[in-house]
Amino acid sequence: MLDIKKIRGDFPILNKKILNNKDLIYLDTAASAQKPKVVIDEINSFYSNNYANVSRGVHTLSVESTFKYEDARKKVQKFINADSEREIIFTKSATESINLIANSFASKYINEGDEIILTVMEHHSNIIPWFLIRDKYKCKILFANIDSTGNIDQKHFESLISEKTKLVSITHLSNVFGTIVNQEIINMCNNAGIPILLDGCQSASHIPIDVKTLGCDYFVFSGHKLYAPTGVGVFYGKENLIEELPPYQGGGGMIADVSIDGATFTDLPAKFEAGTPPLVEAYGLGVAIDYVNELGMSEISEHEFRLTNYALDKMQDLDFVDIHGANENKHSIISFNIKNVHSHEVSSFLDVEGIAIRAGHHCCQPLMKHLSLNSTARLSFGMYNTEDEVDIFINALKKCRDFFTK
Amino acid sequence: MNDLIKELYQEIILDHGQSPRNFGECDPHNKSADGHNPLCGDNLKLTFYINNEDVIEDIKFTGEGCAISLASASLMTEKLKGKKIDIAEEIFSDFTNLVSGSSEDLKVLNEEDSLYALKGVGGFPMRVKCATMAWHAFKSALKS
Ligand SMILES: Cc1ncc(COP(=O)(O)O)c(C=O)c1O
């Protein structure tokens, strides 16, 4: 069992008072997680004591910085159980990671008429990069349906797979429904020999990740949702696959040799890391991973799963609340609406009660259209949330309903 | 109940949010524009008719949105109907000042105006876009 009281003490922001002196209840970790003091302090310390550019100089500080940066890579590698550090590319965000694979993969493998499969519940970050590829290469983007439970419609997904399918790119844990992708979907791709990318933005902070057991070829996530700073993301790709891919961006740090006639590119992972990387942020991600590992990812996951079910039980009893997607298979994220009250009203009302939730389309407009919804409210949990906070949230929902539908 | 919320959601806002006035499409109309709030997906379509004396003879809107955006659109149509364009433009700039928290030097709006009910939006910076969506649609329709 986690000592939540102690954990809460590690997050300075949880002492903040909101608007009229209410305790902050932060239920928006799916948008971004708060940062433990150790991450904040270590970033500060890096800049104060060790900072210089990486892999570029031979002086002491450059060596120290490079060591810290590469050490973070090892931590990420272990965190997702990748085979090699060469498979871990630091980017600025999951969004950049998806743009990286979309561009590099497409320039090598995508031709007119080829097909890429997504689902209708993807985040815009996992849709728009593919639209740009479609426009450039005249390929097709197919969208697998979801069923009423908020899971991928497996039959429909299967029917989309053909010899034209070049890549599948889907969310591992939905940022709207909190549902986790069925292993059978991944197996289907493996069996058909189609590379699959999992968008792990939400899963990386809520469930233990093992890219080998999962069987995914590519995996991406953002540091900031995993208690790490903004500005750093991860792109994982199987070594034999990404070795074949051309670089994404050009710049310093990714070349073997340059002359005025051209250039040869360096080896993995630097080949995909053009320019000065987010080295302090990557270091911060390593610190966050240490922090998470010390508590235990499985314990964090269990705690959040329990909280999710605790909240679902209470919300189910509120006849004025619609919960989107079935309650089973939900992890850490619950989207809902109060009948006849727009999610903006809910969010502003809760804000004044000190409760931070998200309202809107959650960067999933195709899904909102599919559900015939304009927007939803969403609560999401982090390791620091408690049942008491859920109770206060539930109470606030009742007050909100009374205020707007009196 | 909390004062900030009461100030944001005055009776008149809740009323116009629940039953917006001038909801529909002007027939005929000679100006129209769509408004979007890309942050949340709220949207509206504004249509109006300007006669040859530069007066907004009729103005209506349709769309979906939160109470703030619907009430603001509804109150806007009530306020602008029958106004000359130059006055309407002054109301536009007064209103955008009002909801972004600078209500000192308003030219045409005063505390008696129903639009003043939206002043509370100033306390919720993320909601200013909700309150101004219809107004920006109006402005862009004028330019079209
Ligand atoms: C499922 C999913 N994919 C992608 C993203 C994009 O992450 P970022 O904005 O950090 O690149 C998010 C973040 O909201 C997400 O939830």
Half-sphere exposure (CA, 13 Å, Cβ side) for A283?
Answer: 23
Of A19, A20, A359, the CB nearest to B40: A359
The pLDDT value given to residue B126: 86
Per-residue exposure over B5-31, b if at least 16 CB sit within 10 Å of its own CB, e if not:
bebbbbebbbebbeebbbeeebeebeb
Cα-based angle A268, A86, A294 (whole degrees, multiple of 5): 145
User: Each residue of A309-328: pLDDT tens digit?
Assistant: 999 999 999 999 999 999 89
For residue A355, report the distance from its CA to the centre of ligand 1, in Å.
22
Cα of B41 to nearest chain A Cα, Å? 6
Q: Do B5 and A348 touch (CB under 8 A)?
A: yes
User: In the numeric block, which tokens belong to residue A206?
Assistant: 């809520």
The CATH code for residues A4-29+296-405 is 3.90.1150.10
Cα of B6 to nearest chain A Cα, Å? 9
Contacts of B127 in chain A (CB under 8 A): 344, 348
Q: Do A344 and B127 touch (CB under 8 A)?
A: yes
Q: Is A203 in the pocket of ligand 1 (CB under 6 A)?
A: no
Q: Do B65 and A352 touch (CB under 8 A)?
A: no
Q: Number of CB pairs < 8 Å for A and B? A: 53
Structurally, chain B folds into a number of domains equal to 1
User: In the numeric block, which tokens belong to residue A53?
Assistant: 């550019």
The pLDDT value given to residue B1: 52
Q: In this structure, what are the phi and psi dihedrals at residue A197, rounded to the nearest 5 degrees?
A: -105, 130
Q: Is A100 in the pocket of ligand 1 (CB under 6 A)?
A: no
Residue ranges per structural domain of chain A: 4-29+296-405, 40-293
CB B36 within 8 A of CB B8: no
Complete DSSP assignment for A66-112: HHHHHHHHHHHHHHTT-S-GGGEEEES-HHHHHHHHHHHHHHHH--T
CB A185 within 8 A of CB A205: no
User: In the numeric block, which tokens belong to residue A195?
Assistant: 């590379």
Q: Is A93 in the pocket of ligand 1 (CB under 6 A)?
A: yes
In the residue annotation, A363 being an active-site residue is answered as yes
Of A20, A344, A349, the CB nearest to B40: A344
The domain defined by A40-293 carries CATH number 3.50.50.60: no
The pLDDT value given to residue A114: 98
CB A352 within 8 A of CB B126: no
What is the SS3 assignment for A387? helix
Cα of B99 to nearest chain A Cα, Å? 16
- Ligand 1 pocket test: pick from A97, A175, A380 the residue with the most ligand atoms within 8 Å of its Cβ: A175
Select from A241, A200, A201 the least CA-distant residue to A217: A241
Contacts of B68 in chain A (CB under 8 A): 344-345
Task: Give the single-character DSSP code of A254.
Answer: S
Q: In this structure, what are the phi and psi dihedrals at residue A138, rounded to the nearest 5 degrees?
A: 60, 35
Complex ipTM value: 0.84
Complete DSSP assignment for A276-344: S--HHHHHHHHHHHHHHHHH-HHHHHHHHHHHHHHHHHHHHT-TTEEESS-STTB-SEEEEEETTB-HH
CB B91 within 8 A of CB B103: no
**CATH code of the domain covering residue B63:** 3.90.1010.10
The kind and range of the H/E element at A218 are strand A218-222
Reported pTM: 0.93
Task: Please indicate if any CB of chain B lies within 8 Å of the CB of A349.
Answer: yes
User: In the numeric block, which tokens belong to residue B108?
Assistant: 């045409």
pLDDT, mean of residues B33-40: 87
Contacts of A335 in chain B (CB under 8 A): none
Contacts of A349 in chain B (CB under 8 A): 5
CB A40 within 8 A of CB A51: no
pLDDT by residue, tens only, chain A of 406 residues: 899 999 999 999 999 988 778 999 999 999 999 999 999 999 999 999 999 999 777 898 999 999 999 999 999 999 999 999 999 999 999 999 999 999 999 999 999 999 999 999 999 999 999 999 999 999 999 999 999 999 999 999 999 999 999 999 999 999 999 999 999 999 999 999 999 999 999 999 999 999 999 999 999 999 999 999 999 999 999 999 999 999 999 998 888 889 989 888 989 999 999 999 999 999 999 999 999 999 999 999 999 999 999 999 999 999 999 999 998 989 999 999 999 999 999 999 999 999 999 998 999 999 999 998 889 999 999 999 999 999 999 999 999 999 998 7
Task: Please indicate if any CB of chain B lies within 8 Å of the CB of A236.
Answer: no
User: Each residue of A363-384: pLDDT tens digit?
Assistant: 999 999 999 888 999 999 999 9
Interface test with A, best of B66, B129, B132 (most A CBs within 10 A): B66
User: What is the residue range of B100's domain?
Assistant: 3-143
Q: Do A365 and B3 touch (CB under 8 A)?
A: no
